[in-house]
Chain A
Amino acid sequence: MTDFLNLYKAFLRISTTMMIQYRASGLIWMIGAVLDPIIFLVVWSVAARASGGTVGGMAPSDFAAYYIVLMLVNHLTFTWIMEVFQYRVQYGNFNAELLRPVHPIHMDIADNIAYKLVMTVVMIPAVVICVWLFEPNFVFIPWALAAALPAVLLAFLVRFFLEWTLALVTFWTTRTQAINRTYFGVLMFMSGRVAPIALLPGILQDVTSVLPFYYMVAFPVELAVGRLSPAEAMDGFMIQILWLAAALGIITSTWRFALKRFSAVGG
């Protein structure tokens, strides 16, 4: 256990040092991460005003609360692993990682955490500015806020492990962009980023309630803004845990097949 903790301490130190080097690119990524939900916030606010003040029972101030929290939750749960995995394998970088007596996933986890820690410097002021600009209607329910913290952690774990597994498709094909684009399109829609899930047609809500995407982003958001009952929160946690177990099972078996298939190009 001590070795493991020392390993993560070293990884986090290296990753944080690296992320601080990438100031300009980090800032550009953050601009995207902030603009994306703001655009939808503005679109839905305009739609609400045009529809007599609310859409699906949500006023502009409710959309503001939803999307500002979503901006923060998405920042805390997102990964970029699927975008870069193909290049790591294609250009031979992955060979060096596989030669080490440590699973490559640990460095990726450390990189992800380090990025989020470093970029909090940008995210917090962005949230403050958005709160001032859009006057969100935050409904603070103590139990819901407390429950949102483990929900965000579980959301991150489910998203990270599932996306890491999907990234392994690069061991079977080097052309993964089409798969990535499809995944991100579905994620965008079903994670509550394009619209709060409650605004989707009924059948889509049913589908979304069993797929993992909702639990990667929208579930902790809705918990934090007080839109879920305790029973709905418990159901959500159960499904998050089930998806986490499924993700861990899939990643373990896929990894074994992926290694067998690996052609170690490059080097």
Chain B
Amino acid sequence: MPAPAIHVQDLSKTFNVPVREAGVKAALRSLFKREHRDVKAVEAVSFDVSPGEIVGFLGPNGAGKTTTLKMLSGLLHPTGGTAKVLGHVPFRREKDYLSKITLVMGQRNQLVWDIPVVDSFERNRAIYRMDAGEYRKMLDEMTDLLDLGPLLQKPTRNLSLGERMKCEIAVSLLHKPQVLFLDEPTIGLDVTMQRRIRSFIQEYNRSTGATVLLTSHYMADVEALCKRVIIIHHGKILFDGDLSELVQQFSAYKTITIDLEEMDGINFTRFGEVVEIEGLQVKIRVPKADTPRITGEILAELTIQDLTVEDPPIEEIIDRVFSQTEIELEKE
């Protein structure tokens, strides 16, 4: 079995942050006595990612996702634990290591603001010591896949958000990194652009075998790209496994959608919890274990045009994971 591309063992990061109450009195007090508290952003997180895997790294805001990515890319020194990416210790920031990875973050600051995009690409070519042939080939591939042709000669400041995002992703991948840390790569983009970026990541993973660790609040990204997800909340891992396993484990219900020929006098509550009634369509939530029996009852007792049985949306399942965690933490 090949060595994992990413190996994380009990990784932790604690920030010591100043605290102060609001108001002038508190501000004056803080001149003489500074108070601090420790914030455990990441707490004893462990996981391995195999070469070529695309893993979704999910969690609500403030869960510790970006902090974890920053530790794995060498930006932050961990407070505890160990991490190895492609056999390198990230925070040692060896040139060889930095040449093999990329981290695409929200602010996306690889492009130089006032000069044409292609000049920023040239700068990265020099930084990553790419020879002319290799650079040209990558640039042509990126231009094709992301439709960059009309954008290359424009200064970055003249690009729309979607155009800039495409160019930022291109410049981040120009040096053909083996590990991609993507922090919300489709945030703020329209639906078409999101799909384009997803296809590009898929194609890049397929053609280069790159390992991808991706965070996103858009479940469409996760469902399209990730077979495996890691869910983090309050700095701890809550779940690490296949997306289908997540649905199995945390989804206690199924949704039955019924299209009827007529509605008069039917009491739907005896089948389950009525989620929605719209025209002649009814959605009912039923316990997973009872789904076959209730489906049978509906088919036997009602005259229906169509019936579908679905898992709840992934967003709902993940929200349930977070909510359960909050309840457990409150109990503690």
Residues of A within 8 A of B (CB): 3, 6-7, 9-11, 13-14, 17-18, 21-22, 91-93, 95-96, 98-102, 259-260, 262-264, 266-267
Contact = CB atoms under 8 A, between A and B. Distances in A.
A92 B75 CA distance: 11
B283 to A, nearest CB: 40
A10 B125 contact: yes
B158 to A, nearest CB: 12
B95 interface: yes
Interface string B2-22: 000000000000010000000
A99 B98 contact: yes
A99 B99 contact: no
Contacts of B75: 95, 98-99, 262, 264
5 contacts: A10-B127, A21-B114, A99-B103, A100-B127, A101-B95
B126 A10 contact: yes
Contact of A7 (B70, B97, B102, B126): B126
Contacts of A259: 77, 91, 93
Interface residues of B, number: 38
B98 A267 contact: no
Contacts of B109: 92-93, 95-96
A102 B126 CA distance: 10
Interface in B120-134: 120, 122-129
**Top 9 A-B pairs ranked by shortest CB distance?**
A10-B126, A267-B105, A101-B98, A101-B95, A96-B109, A264-B75, A21-B114, A101-B99, A92-B107
B66 interface: yes
A140 B4 CA distance: 69
A61 B76 CA distance: 56
What is the predominant secondary structure among interface residues of chain B facing chain A?
Answer: mixed
Interface string B105-148: 11101101011000110111111110000000000000000000
Contacts of B64: none
B106 A14 contact: no
Contacts of B59: none
Nearest to B155: A21
B74 interface: yes
Contacts of B183: 267
Contacts of A99: 73-75, 98, 101-103
Contact of B115 (A9, A10, A17, A101): A17
Contacts of B97: 101
Select the residue from B95, B110, B129 with max chain A CB neighbours within 10 A. Answer: B129
Given A14-B122, A101-B99, A22 B110 contact: no
B195 to A, nearest CB: 24
B76 A263 contact: yes
Contacts of B101: 99
Contacts of A260: 77
Contacts of A6: 126, 129
Interface in B180-194: 183
